[in-house]
Amino acid sequence: MRFTPTAEQQQLGEMVQRFLAEQYSFEARRKILGSREGWSRELWSKLGELGLLALQVPEDHGGMAPAVVETLLTVTAMGKAMLLEPYLSSAIVGTVLVRELGSAEQRAEWLPAMAAGERIAVPAHFEPEARYDLKSVRTSGKRSGGDWLLEGRKSVVSHAPAADLLLVSARTSGGDGEPGGISLFAVPRDGQGVKLTPYSTVDGSRAADVALTSARGTLVGEEGHAFDAISTAFDLGLAAVCADAAGALQATLDATVEYTRTRKQFGVPIAKFQVLQHRMVEMLIHVEQARSMSYLAAMRAAEPPSRERRRALSAAKVVIGNACRFVGQQAVQLHGGMGVTDETAISHLFRRLTALELTLGDTAHHLERFVAASTAEGT
Question: Do residues 229 and 134 touch, judged by C-beta distance below 8 A?
Answer: no
Q: Are strands 165-171 and 121-124 parallel, antiparallel or unpaired?
A: parallel
- Given a cut of 60, whether residue 81 has pLDDT beyond it is yes
pLDDT of residue 1: 54
HEC letters along 218-278: EEECCCCECHHHHHHHHHHHHHHHHHHHHHHHHHHHHHHHHHHHHCEECCEEHHHCHHHHH
| Prediction pTM value | 0.96
Q: What is the pLDDT at residue 338?
A: 87
Instruction: Tell me the residue type at 223.
Output: E
Residue 264 has a pLDDT of: 87
86-111: pLDDT as tens digits? 999 999 999 999 999 999 999 999 99
- What residues are paired with 171 via a beta bridge? 140, 182
Q: Note the pLDDT of residue 378.
A: 47
Gyration radius from the chain CA atoms: 21
> CATH 1.10.540.10 in the chain, residues?
7-120
Distance CA 239, CA 273 (A): 37
pLDDT at 156 over 90: yes
Q: Are 313 and 212 in contact (CB under 8 A)?
A: no
- Greatest CA separation found in the chain? 79
User: What does the pLDDT read at residue 377?
Assistant: 55
Average pLDDT of the residues in 298-306: 94
- Model confidence pLDDT, tens digit, residues 224-281: 999 999 999 999 999 999 999 999 999 999 999 999 999 988 899 999 999 999 999 9
Looking at this protein, which amino acid is placed at residue 31?
K
Domain with CATH 2.40.110.10 in the chain: 122-225
**Which ranges in the chain are annotated with CATH 1.20.140.10?**
228-374
Q: How far is the C-alpha of 210 from the C-alpha of 286, rounded, in Å?
A: 37
pLDDT digits (tens, 9 = 90+) for 164-212: 999 999 999 999 999 999 999 999 999 999 999 999 999 999 999 999 9
Average pLDDT rounded to a whole number, residues 134-143: 97
CA nearest to 239, candidates 323, 310, 157: 310
Q: Is the pLDDT of residue 308 over 60?
A: yes
Phi and psi at 265, nearest 5°, equal -135, 140
pLDDT at 92: 98
**Got the DSSP string for 101-164?**
H--HHHHHHHHHHHHTTS--EEEE---TTTTT-TT----EEEEETTEEEEEEEEEEEETGGG-S
**Out of 1.10.10.10, 3.30.460.80, 2.40.30.10, 2.40.110.10, which CATH number does the structure's domain 122-225 have?**
2.40.110.10
Q: For the structural domain made of 7-120, what CATH number should be given?
A: 1.10.540.10
8 Å CB contact between 220 and 257: no
Q: What is the pLDDT of residues 2-27, one digit of tens each?
A: 678 999 999 999 999 999 999 999 99
pLDDT tens digits, residue range 316-325? 999 999 999 9
State the Cα–Cα distance between residues 357 and 363, nearest whole angstrom: 7
More confident residue, 131 or 185: 185
Average pLDDT over the chain, rounded to whole? Answer: 96
Q: Determine the residue type at 78.
A: M
Banded pLDDT at 146 (limits 50, 70, 90): confident
Residue 341 CA from chain centroid, whole number? 26
Residue-wise pLDDT tens digits, 47-76: 999 999 999 999 999 999 999 999 999 999
The CATH class that applies to domain 228-374 reads mainly alpha
